[in-house]
Structure 1
Amino acid sequence: MAQFVDWDLAAATAGALGKAGPTVSYSEAAEVVADLRRVTDEAANHVLEFTGMRPAVAHAPVRVVDRKDWASVNIAGLRQVINPLVAKLSGDREPGSFTSVVGSRVTGVQAGTVLAYLSGKVLGQYEVFASDPGTLLLVAPNIVETERRLEAQPHDFRLWVCLHEVTHRTQFTAVPWLRGHFLGEVRSFVDASQSGGEQIIDRLRHGVAALADAVRNPDSRASVLDLVQTPAQAAVLDRLTAVMTLLEGHAEFVMDGVGPEVVPTVEDIRARFNQRREGGNPIERAMRRLLGIDVKLRQYAEGRKFVHAVVERVGMDGFNRVWDSPLTLPYLSELSDPDAWVARVHG
C-alpha cells in the first residue's frame, strides 16, 4: 500500500512539540478527572431532558485525556480513515521507493506539527473516526488552563463545556445513521476528484504541508480550500459544511438553552469566552484563519441561528425531524433560510 503519513512519527512529533499543561499537583489532577466525569453525567441528564434525544446505541464512558493523548486518539482516527483511502487511490501498490518513504516521513512531521498546535486549543471533542459510535474526549489541561485564564468558577465552566460536548455525543448515539453518513461524505470528497491517484495523494500532502506552514509561519497565505479543485468536490464540501454547521449550532443552542438554568455564572462565562474566541494576538488570528478555525467559529453562530429559528416555528419535536434521515438534513442554502427547511420537511 502506498504510504501517505508516517503515523508513528506524527505521534512522536505531536508529543514533542505540544505545550506542557498548567501546573497542578497529583491530587488536584485526580480531582479534576473525577469531577469532569461527574459533570459529564450531570450534563447528559440535562441534554436528554432539553432535547428529548435518547441514545439508541451504547456509548463508551468519557475519556479525560491530556494533550498528548488527545493527539494520539486523533492520529488513530485519521489512520482509520486515510489509510484505506490512499490504498484505494493507489490501487494497493507498494511504494518501493526512497522518495515515497521520505515523503511519508515529511508528511508525518507536518501532521504532528498541526496536531501539536491544536492539542493546546481543544477543550473537548466527540471523535468519530477511530471507533463506532465514537468517543467523547475532554482535554483536562486545556479546560483547567482556560477556566483559570477566564477566572471562571470551575464547576460552572466544566458543566458549561460538557453541555456542548455531550450534545455532540447525543447526536451520534441518538442518530445511529449519522456517523456512517458523515464518513461517507468524507470518502465522497476524495472520490470526487478528477485526478489520478498519485495526483490526489500529492494534493493531500500539499494540503498538510500548507497547514503545517500556517502553524510555523503566520504570514503564510495557504488555505485548506486549496484542496477543493473540482465542482464535484465543492458540492460534497457544501454538504459537509451544512452538516457540521448544524451539529455545532445545535450544540451551542443546547448549551445556551440549558446553561441559564444550571450554570449560575453562565453570563459571565459566555461573555469572557466569546471575548477569548474573538481576541488573540495577530499570530493567533492568522493561525485560526489558515487552519480553518474561523470557519468553525462562524458555524457556531450560523448554526445556532438556524436551530433557534426552527424551534421557534415548529418546537423541539419539530426540529428533531432533522434527524429522521440524511434527506431531512438542511441544505447549505437552508441554514440562512429556515423557513425553506420547514416548508420542505414539514410540508
Structure 2
Amino acid sequence: MDIARSMRALADAADAPNGVVDWDAVAEAAKGAVDPGDVRVEPAEREAIAADVRAARDGLRAASGVSFDLPDSVEVQSRHHWIDANVATFERVLRPLERRGGGVFPGVARSVNTGTMAVAVAFLARNVLGQYDPLLLADGAGPGAAGGPNAARSGGHSDHGLYFVRPNIRRVAAELDVDYPRFRRWIAFHEVAHAAEFAAAPWLSTYLEERMEEGVEALSEGSLSRESFAELNTAMTAVEGYAELLMDHAFDGEYEELRVKLDERRGGGDPLTRLLKRALGFEMKREQYERGAAFFEAVADETGVATTTLVWDAPENLPTEAELDDPGLWLDRVARA
C-alpha cells in the first residue's frame, strides 16, 4: 500500500483542466490504496487452475445442455491487474455523464469525483474473487495477449478473458477456513457458469449494456430511467440465479458448508465494510443471487433443468418482476404456451 501515491494522483487530478473524472488518476490512486498481492504461480498451480476451468466447462455443459467454449484466455490477476482491466469499463459506462459534465456527482469538484471513484475501485479490487464481464466483452477492445483455454496466464488483460484475482481468493479461503484448492475450484465453476449462460444467449451482453447506457444517459440529463434500471436488475437476477442453479448441479464435490460460509460473507463485515457494500450494490447483488436461485430452482423442480434454459432463447423470455416471485406465471407464458 502506498498512500503517498494515492495523494499525488488525486492532487494531479485537481490540477487537470478538463473532464469531471481523471480516470488515470482513479487507477493510480486505487493502486496506491491497495496492495497488489502475489501472483507468482508455480507450474503445478497453473495447471491446477487450467484443470479447474476445464472441469467446470465439462460439468456445466452436462448440467445445462448448452455447448460452449471457454474464453480466449484465463488470467490470474493481482489486484492492480484487476484495476487496470476494469477502470476503462467504468469510464465507458459513465461516458454520458462525462459528456454532459455531470460527473459521478453533478456539481462536485473533479478531485472529489476522482477520489470517490478511486475509493470504489479500490474496495472492489480488494473483494472481487473472479470475473466474467459481459460489459467489458461487449466493448470488444482491450490490450493484452490471448491464450488458449488450457492456459492460465498471470496478469495482463484480454477482451475475451476469464479473471481470477488470486490474492483475494487465497485471503478469503483463509478467512472462511476452507481449503484453498477447493475454494479456487468453486470460483472457477461459478465464473464458467456465467460463460455458459452468455453462450446460450448471444443477445444478452448487448441487452445488458443497452439498459445500462439508457440508465446512465437519463442520469446525465437529470432524470431517472426506472424502467431501464428495473429491466437491468431483473436480467441480472436471472443471470446470477441461473449460475447458482448450474453450480448446484455441476460442482463436483460437497459444497453445502462452503455455500453457507459464502452467504454469510456476502452480508458480513465491519460497519464501514457493510456501508461500502450497500453503496456499491453488494446488497442488491446478494438479493439477485437468492431471488434468482429460488426462481430457477422452482422451475427445475417442476419441469427439469432443461426448461430453465428457455430463458435465454430471447429477451422476451426473461422473467418479469412478478414472475420472479411466481415461477408458475413464467412457466405458463414461456414453457407451456
**Aligned position for 1:5:** 21
Residue 49 (structure 2) pairs with residue 36 (structure 1): yes
Amino acid at match of 2:175: R
Query: Any stretches of 5+ residues in structure 2 without a counterpart?
Result: 1-17, 141-159
Query: Any stretches of 5+ residues in structure 1 without a counterpart?
Result: 91-98, 201-228
Residue 138 (structure 2) pairs with residue 125 (structure 1): no
Write out aligned runs for 1:139-218 (5 A).
139-192=165-218, 200=222
* CA 1:35–1:235: 2 relative to 1, 3 Å: same
Work out whether residues 70 and 139 of structure 1, in 8 Å CA contact, stay in contact via their aligned partners in 2: yes
Aligned-CA RMSD value? 2.7
Write out aligned runs for 1:1-347 (5 A).
3-21=19-37, 26=40, 31-55=44-68, 59-83=71-95, 85-86=96-97, 89=100, 103-132=109-138, 134-192=160-218, 200=222, 229-230=223-224, 233-259=225-251, 262-263=252-253, 265-346=254-335, 347=337
Q: Secondary structure at the match of 1:53?
A: coil
* CA 1:25–1:3: 2 relative to 1, 3 Å: closer
Amino acid at match of 1:37: A
CA shift, 1:135, in A, is 3.1
Work out whether residues 21 and 98 of structure 2, in 8 Å CA contact, stay in contact via their aligned partners in 1: no
CA deviation string 1:280-312 (max 9, x = no partner): 222322222222211111111110000111112
- Worse-superposed segment, 107-116 or 285-294: 285-294
CA deviation string 1:312-342 (max 9, x = no partner): 2222222111011111111122111101111
CA shift, 1:186, in A, is 1.0
CA shift, 1:46, in A, is 0.8
* CA 1:41–1:4: 2 relative to 1, 3 Å: farther
* CA 1:32–1:300: 2 relative to 1, 3 Å: same
Work out whether residues 26 and 115 of structure 2, in 8 Å CA contact, stay in contact via their aligned partners in 1: yes
CA shift, 1:170, in A, is 1.6
* Cα separation, 2, equivalents of 1:187 and 1:281: 33
CA shift, 1:82, in A, is 2.8
* Cα separation, 2, equivalents of 1:6 and 1:64: 27
Amino acid at match of 1:38: A
How many percent of aligned residue pairs carry the same amino acid?
A: 29
* CA 1:338–1:153: 2 relative to 1, 3 Å: same
* CA 1:192–1:280: 2 relative to 1, 3 Å: closer
Work out whether residues 80 and 130 of structure 1, in 8 Å CA contact, stay in contact via their aligned partners in 2: no
CA shift, 1:74, in A, is 1.0
Amino acid at match of 2:74: V
Q: Secondary structure at the match of 2:94?
A: helix
CA deviation string 1:6-53 (max 9, x = no partner): 1111110111111453xx69465x654443232112111111111112
Amino acid at match of 1:46: G
CA shift, 1:103, in A, is 4.0
TM-score for both structures, normalised by structure 2: 0.79
* Cα separation, 2, equivalents of 1:321 and 1:278: 31
* Cα separation, 2, equivalents of 1:25 and 1:54: 31
* CA 1:65–1:45: 2 relative to 1, 3 Å: same
**Aligned position for 1:219:** none
Amino acid at match of 2:272: I
* Cα separation, 2, equivalents of 1:77 and 1:154: 30
* Cα separation, 1, equivalents of 2:248 and 2:65: 16
* Cα separation, 2, equivalents of 1:146 and 1:121: 9
CA deviation string 1:68-100 (max 9, x = no partner): 1111111121233333x347657xxxxxxxx99
* CA 1:4–1:36: 2 relative to 1, 3 Å: farther
* Cα separation, 1, equivalents of 2:332 and 2:304: 14
Work out whether residues 21 and 111 of structure 2, in 8 Å CA contact, stay in contact via their aligned partners in 1: yes
* CA 1:276–1:82: 2 relative to 1, 3 Å: closer
Work out whether residues 39 and 76 of structure 2, in 8 Å CA contact, stay in contact via their aligned partners in 1: no
CA shift, 1:131, in A, is 3.0
Q: Secondary structure at the match of 1:130?
A: helix
